[in-house]
Chain A
């Protein structure tokens, strides 16, 4: 299995990992090498052993109980205020967030 740089870029996007161009090339080489080894699994006769559904994992009763102490959670939080984790703004500020009457000019 040969893995291309574009494929690595796509996978990196799914995995929330960023690589520069040299990193993409290196990763493509390494994944190609590792997957070439893994491709030997194709030679095994697995008739009768097709991917089985694992047995159901037992569940405990969903009973209310105390959760983590907020002070301990805050101690590990990178950014915290008034009982909440702080993250960068998710929704862009108005008015950019309001749909424009006409399509915005395309960047060239």
Chain B
């Protein structure tokens, strides 16, 4: 039965009924050895099996954000992306684990325990959409929704050896995605193959009256150019990102460029001078927004309420103190600091100015190139516990992914091979705003030439 789940969706649906597919997916998901799932939908209807990151709201399953503060929360409404998936015949198999409120790069900051990497259970699955990436990589589900603020779909997709898309900011409605940093947040997609990713984007993309930042830009036929090849297309290798690369990641990236060049692509170096400031910008801008967005968790209307709340002030402080984990508190503190009187100009204002310059730098690069490429991550999946005591080293895991969020452009992570230890490596392809169709074209070519998606973890533990 699990062989069904190893097929790309367009083949699987020719071999089995929607009921059989859902049953196979449910069986694999119930037998989850990775802690990829937080809740399984025993009543999943027949359809296209899909898992949903547990910060995207659903009426038929709890939405916890992997936080104690929302442990018992059931949303009164569905996220727009979920509504569109259901209408298109998708069947929600379950809700996947994440770093609490999507704040993290390893899924170790989940209140319900870390998700393990299917290629090596002693390592992290990446994060924050670690559950979604692990569930797809382990063939529990053919696809999953995740969310991105600084790389939270692409980085775990890279660590788990699957395809991850961050769409253009505004491409997919954020209605029902629990807000972390509203100016950066975007629902993304994890799949085994590029085609499945393109098809799903067509389902969930488009304007939505419930999200005023969703774009009226027409929804494209995203799979149309999958087989068109890359002849004559121009790929810029971001010099500032690549020059510090070492060892296997560097060698693997060079091999990826050889594949693209073999298809007739033009590969040249390009400079994006500000790209190295992405993490510094990100942790001010994202956490400033987070400190405001997470103010709503106050123990009054929903979520955890402390028993020690003789006064309203106690209720706020204790409910939040008991409900939030250490990383969420750290980020709220950093964001509150950056917005506080006396520091606003020096930190928040400065970060937004450098971000504006980075946006300009990317625009300049896209005048000469169709795509910009980097590895998705500077290293393969790291051991569980390796970075939890050093927040900054954890943050730097997103050094190549965060720029696309800050600039608002789409980016695709595609498996590009394996390290000597058998850990997945990944190529990141970035394009200008609303260039998703072109990203799938390049990703589709790369996937066809390399076929890395066919390799699957054994899960023999």
Contact = CB atoms under 8 A, between A and B. Distances in A.
B123 interface: no
A8 B333 contact: yes
10 contacts: A17-B321, A37-B392, A40-B280, A41-B277, A41-B280, A46-B357, A59-B212, A78-B300, A79-B305, A87-B312
A88 B314 contact: yes
Contacts of A33: 391-392
A58 B213 CA distance: 7
Contacts of A35: 334, 337, 347
Given A27-B330, A68-B77, A44 B277 contact: yes
Contact of A87 (B300, B337, B350): B300
A41 B303 contact: no
B130 to A, nearest CB: 22
Contacts of B340: 10-11, 14
Contact of B76 (A3, A10, A41, A69): A69
B212 A49 contact: no
Interface of B: 72-74, 76-77, 183, 209, 212-213, 274, 277, 279-281, 283-284, 291, 295, 298-305, 309-312, 314-318, 320-321, 324, 329-330, 332-334, 336-337, 340, 347, 349-354, 356-357, 360, 391-392, 395
Contacts of B312: 87-90
A88 B310 contact: yes
A20 B277 CA distance: 34
Nearest to A91: B312
Given A31-B337, A40-B277, A41-B277, A76 B74 contact: yes
Contact of B360 (A14, A49, A60): A49
Contacts of B320: 16-17
A36 B402 CA distance: 19
Interface of A: 3, 7-8, 10-12, 14-19, 27, 30-31, 33-35, 37-38, 40-42, 44, 46, 49-52, 54, 57-60, 68-69, 72-73, 75-79, 85, 87-90
Nearest to A67: B76
Contact of A11 (B74, B284, B337, B353): B337
B353 A50 contact: yes
A12 B333 contact: yes
Most chain B CB neighbours (cut-off 10 Å) among A11, A37, A42, A50:
A11
B329 A17 contact: yes
Given A11-B333, A18-B321, A49-B360, A88 B315 contact: yes
A74 B145 CA distance: 29
Contacts of B360: 49
A59 B309 CA distance: 38
The 10 closest A-B pairs by CB, nearest first: A78-B305, A72-B76, A76-B302, A46-B353, A49-B357, A49-B356, A15-B336, A51-B352, A18-B317, A16-B316
A46 B298 CA distance: 38
A49 B332 contact: no
A52 B349 CA distance: 9
A37 B280 contact: yes
A34 B40 CA distance: 38
Contact of B302 (A12, A15, A78, A90): A78
A17 B290 CA distance: 14
A52 B352 CA distance: 8
B330 A38 contact: no
B170 to A, nearest CB: 11
Nearest to B309: A88
Nearest to B70: A76
B280 A76 contact: no
B298 A16 contact: yes
A78 B333 contact: no
A38 B280 contact: yes
Contacts of B354: 41, 44, 46, 49
Contacts of B291: 15
Nearest to B281: A41
Contacts of B283: 34, 38
B309 A51 contact: no
B212 A42 contact: no
A89 B347 CA distance: 38
Contacts of A34: 283, 334, 391-392, 395
A90 to B, nearest CB: 5
A85 B353 contact: no
B351 A41 contact: yes
Contacts of A8: 333
A38 to B, nearest CB: 5
A50 B315 CA distance: 40
Contact of A57 (B212, B350, B392): B212
Contact of B213 (A10, A30, A46, A57): A57
Contacts of A54: 183
Contacts of A31: 330, 333-334, 337
Contact of A3 (B74, B295, B337): B337
Given A11-B333, A37-B392, A38-B284, 20 more contacts: A10-B340, A11-B336, A15-B291, A16-B316, A27-B330, A31-B334, A34-B391, A35-B337, A41-B284, A41-B354, A46-B354, A51-B356, A68-B77, A73-B301, A76-B72, A76-B74, A76-B302, A78-B302, A88-B309, A90-B312
